[in-house]
């Protein structure tokens, strides 16, 4: 009975009012954007460091990027005077799990920082990389289960896809939009995987 209830809850959240980042394109738009992204071999990892993508900068008041995403993607989130999330609940669209402790939630970069580095960001300025790593205006940041985010690591969609198959369409739409907006390249394997994921829309 508990499993059935949780499965039903996950379905309802996925199919109705799931909290998601802004700017997710329709599938038809994503297909068009995918077709215009340059396909190229993966670049070098040389010189990459996560420190070259300054993360969790202050966005407003005391609130950094992580806390803003937790507030945006959570339900009934209560923040302290320091802007940290004290309570609330967070539904992870990657695996359908719901968490009530913010420590169980990571903020995922839909296009991993290492992947971005190898597909064009190595030539950016630090300010440009900081903007990419803290982008709240486009579908680059999403609150998800911490160990699912860890399992993803820096892998692209040709090597990793959300465990929840019903989210593959939306994930592909988000990934494509970020690659398109930031003029990042994709590999042929990425393009094939993204196209297949869009077929589930």
More confident residue, 12 or 168: 168
Model pLDDT for residues 108-148, shown as the tens digit of each residue: 999 999 999 999 999 999 999 999 999 999 999 999 999 99
- Average pLDDT value for residue range 39-47: 97
What distance in Å separates the CA atoms of residue 104 and residue 98, rounded to the nearest whole number? 10
* Cβ 116 vs Cβ 156: under 8 Å: no
The residue among 180, 188, 126, 183 whose CA lies nearest residue 157 is: 188
C-alpha 107 chain-centroid distance: 7
What distance in Å separates the CA atoms of residue 37 and residue 181, rounded to the nearest whole number? 10
Tell whether the model's pLDDT for residue 17 goes beyond 90.
no
Residues in the chain: 201
Give the number of other Cβ atoms within 10 Å of residue 58's Cβ.
13
C-alpha 77 chain-centroid distance: 20
Tokens of 123: 């030539």
* Cβ 37 vs Cβ 179: under 8 Å: yes
pLDDT at 153: 97
pLDDT at 199: 98
Q: Phi and psi dihedrals of 108, rounded to 5?
A: -90, 140
What distance in Å separates the CA atoms of residue 183 and residue 78, rounded to the nearest whole number? 37
Q: Please name the residues in contact with 67: beta carbons below 8 A apart, sequence gap of 6 or more.
A: 79, 83, 84, 85
Q: Quickly tell me which residue has 């589930």 as its tokens.
A: 200
In terms of Cβ atoms closer than 10 Å to its own Cβ (0-12, 13-18, 19+), residue 193 is buried
What letter would DSSP give residue 201?
Answer: -
* Cβ 50 vs Cβ 91: under 8 Å: no
| Long-range contacts of residues 12-16, Cβ cutoff 8 Å, at least 24 apart | 13/91, 13/93, 13/96, 14/93, 14/96, 14/164, 14/166, 14/167, 15/166
pLDDT range class, residue 165, cuts 50, 70, 90: very high
Q: Phi and psi dihedrals of 63, rounded to 5?
A: -85, 125
pLDDT at 15: 38
């Amino acid at each position: 009975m508990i499993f059935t209830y949780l499965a039903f809850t996950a379905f309802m959240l996925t199919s109705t009012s799931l909290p998601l980042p802004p700017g997710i394109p329709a599938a038809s738009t994503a297909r068009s954007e995918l077709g215009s992204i340059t396909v190229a071999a993966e670049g070098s990892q040389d010189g990459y460091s996560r420190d070259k993508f300054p993360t969790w900068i202050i966005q407003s008041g005391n609130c950094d990027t992580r806390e803003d995403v937790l507030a945006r993607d959570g339900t009934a989130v209560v923040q302290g005077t320091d802007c940290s999330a004290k309570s609330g609940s967070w539904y992870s669209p990657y695996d359908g799990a719901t968490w009530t402790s913010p420590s169980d939630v990571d903020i995922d970069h839909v296009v991993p920082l290492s992947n971005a580095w190898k597909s064009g960001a190595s030539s950016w300025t630090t300010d440009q990389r900081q903007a990419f790593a803290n982008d709240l205006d486009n579908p680059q940041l999403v609150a998800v289960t911490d160990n699912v985010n860890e399992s993803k690591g820096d892998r692209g969609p040709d090597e990793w896809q959300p465990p929840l198959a019903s989210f593959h369409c939306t994930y592909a739409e988000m990934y494509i939009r970020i690659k398109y907006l930031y003029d990042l390249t994709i590999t042929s394997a990425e393009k094939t995987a993204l196209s297949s994921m869009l077929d589930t829309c």
